[in-house]
Structure 1
Amino acid sequence: MIRHIVLVRFRSDLGEEAIAAILAALGPLSTRLGFTAAWGRSESPEQIERGYLHGFVADFTSWDHLAAYQADAEHKAFGAALMQNAQGGMDGILVFDLAIQDPVSIT
């Protein structure tokens, strides 16, 4: 499994409703392309987000599955909306892809 992690520092002039609407576009995209996703605002008690207060994770079955998502026109439009609304454009977005061999559950 590939976990695609995206953190965003949205522009300060955007309210929570506008940010939620931008991130909600991930729902139909995940349904159509067959990956699982979760998104929202950080609720970390550590409060060391360094301005990256919103983000999402998307889980793909393989690198090829992630590549298909990246090549998708709807994904490209979603990414453009993120960049348009991130503080400093691309400088306000952090992406981290993690290959997970054997997911571990902590109970």
Structure 2
Amino acid sequence: MLKHIVLLQFKSDITQEEINNVFLEIAQLKNSIPAMKSYTYGVNCSIEQLNKGFTHGFVMDFEDIIGRNNYVNHPEHNRVAQQVILPVLEHGFDSVIVLDYEF
């Protein structure tokens, strides 16, 4: 199994409705990408104050590296990344952190 963790820093003027739409669009990727086994998202609630402006995140589980690679290269993933997520980020790709690990 492989865990795919993504942290996001949204623009300061984004609405909650826009944020909800981002996470809904991401959730719908599961319909197109069977290797995506689970998806959760949420708002930072850490008391450590080490989030460096990253307020939201999501986690996906994939069956294996091949499944994750299929997701990353899938046209629907690219559409959501470019047309849905990127326009609402504070500093474009500098407002995203991605970390994957096998478990």
Same fold per TM (> 0.5)? Answer: yes
The answer on whether the counterparts of 2:32 and 2:76 sit within 8 Å (CA) in structure 1 is no
Q: Which residue of 2 aligns with 1:104?
A: none
Percent identity of the aligned residues? 29
Determine the structure 2 residue equivalent to 1:103: none
Q: Which residue of 1 aligns with 2:10?
A: 10
Change (3 A) 1:71 1:40: same
What residue identity is the alignment partner of 2:54?
Y
Q: How far apart, CA to CA, are the structure 2 residues paired with 1:31 and 1:98?
A: 23
- State the alpha-carbon separation in 1 of the partners of residues 87 and 28 from structure 2: 20
Deviation at 1:40, TM superposition (A): 2.1
CA distance in 1, matches of 2:90, 2:62: 27
Residue type of the partner of 1:71?
N
Per the TM alignment, residue 45 of structure 1 is displaced from its structure 2 partner at its CA by 3.0
Contact 1:25 1:78 in 2 (8 A): yes
Structure 2 stretches of 5 or more lacking a match? Answer: none
**1:32 aligned partner:** 32
Q: Which position in structure 1 is the counterpart of 2:100?
A: 97
Alignment match, 2:76? 74
Q: Deviations over 1:48-83 (max 9, x none)?
A: 211100110010011100011111111001111222
Q: CA deviation at 1:32?
A: 3.0
Residue-by-residue CA offset, 1:19-46 (whole Å, 9 max, x unaligned): 1111111222123313211012112233
Instruction: Give the gaps of 5 or more residues in structure 1.
Output: 101-107
The higher radius of gyration belongs to 1
Q: Secondary structure at the match of 1:95?
A: strand
Q: Aligned AA for 2:21?
A: A
Quote the RMSD (CA, aligned, Å): 1.3
Please name the residue that 1:85 is paired with: 88
Alignment of 1:23-62 (within 5 A): 23-34=23-34, 35=36, 36-62=38-64
